[in-house]
Amino acid sequence: MRVENEQRIDKLDNGECAAVDSAGGFHRDSVYDEGCSLKNTVKVGTRGSKLALAQTELVIRALRERFPQVDFQMVTMSTRGDRDTSRALLEFGGKAVFVEEFEEAILKGDIDIAVHSAKDMPMEIMEGLTISGTLPRACPQDVLIYKSGRSFDRNDSFVVGTSSLRRQYQIRDVYPNAECKNLRGNVGTRIQKLEDGEYDAIILAAAGLERLGIIDGSAECVEVHKDELTFRYLSTESMLPAACQGIIAIETRTSGEACDMVREINDTEAYTQLICERAVLNRLNAGCHEPIGVYSELHGDHMKLSLMKAGAAVSDKEKDKEIQIHRKTVEGNTADLEQLVEVLIK
């Protein structure tokens, strides 16, 4: 049975918002005493792509800084989504395609921790497991990549590579004549397909590109030119990100040493965003591969929560119908998350 562990947003004594799970553990600074005895070895599960390895190395680095006496070992695993790159992700049914094997490994004791891209996590998590923490969020935006010297006007016809329905509908809202084709594979493979001329442009997440060092992002970044390619950051107004895009989710059992250690490195703001954005998906009964964008911005206790839903039909017979993009934004206090979500989805 797969169930989502109950989580809520509570107020800490210092005024910060923090996530609290059903076990009652706060995701906040230090609960360990310096002399506390910990297990000698902790196994951290990861997919084998360069991006997955880079993200897992960030997690292990943070854990080693906090717990230098522990040997954190990286364990590489393969998932259904990695083994079958010929099908679009939607064809898998959107059910834990990059997650299930890791959850089973945690429950069996083969690994202690699993590192995921939070946007790929299903709403339902196996019983006995939880998202124990996150690292600070990277850039949540999407990036349109194309060969330098090329430009796109609104009415141009060109081929865009992306398997995401969310990206397909939003890019066609900006460029109505764009043709979207399935694009799978790791980041390097996708860029190579662009360079080989299989696509005129592709769309990738900025966070992955930056974590791999392909581009150096910044808060003011709009466009980057590198290796005869142009990387154009798409605004969240025109391309609302997937829920939790740019967040690294760290999964463990709901209690135990691994869970406690992850909570020690948890980033409160990113975790709060994860809880808020997943709450919207949960209320909509939506999966991580549906044409829905969700993004939260936090300013202290104040939150701005945005939603994009695409209303176009997806059957071959109806592909030429006009795309209906519905966008809505609400603002309020993080303590009123449930009410904000209800207003947002109406």
Active site residues: 120
Q: Is the dihedral of CA 106, 107, 109, 112 positive or negative?
A: positive
**Cβ count within 10 A of residue 153:** 8
- In angstroms, the CA 144 to CA 235 distance is 11
- In angstroms, the CA 194 to CA 200 distance is 7
* Contact yes or no for 265/290 (Cβ under 8 A): no
SS3 196: coil
Which residues, 6+ apart, have CB-to-CB distance to 197 below 8 Å? none
Three-state secondary structure along 131-152? Answer: EEEECCCCCCCEEEEEECCCCC
The residue among 58, 193, 190 whose CA lies nearest residue 117 is 58
Which uninterrupted H or E stretch holds 224? strand 223-226
Q: Residue holding tokens 């044409």? A: 291
Residues in the chain: 346
* Contact yes or no for 21/7 (Cβ under 8 A): yes
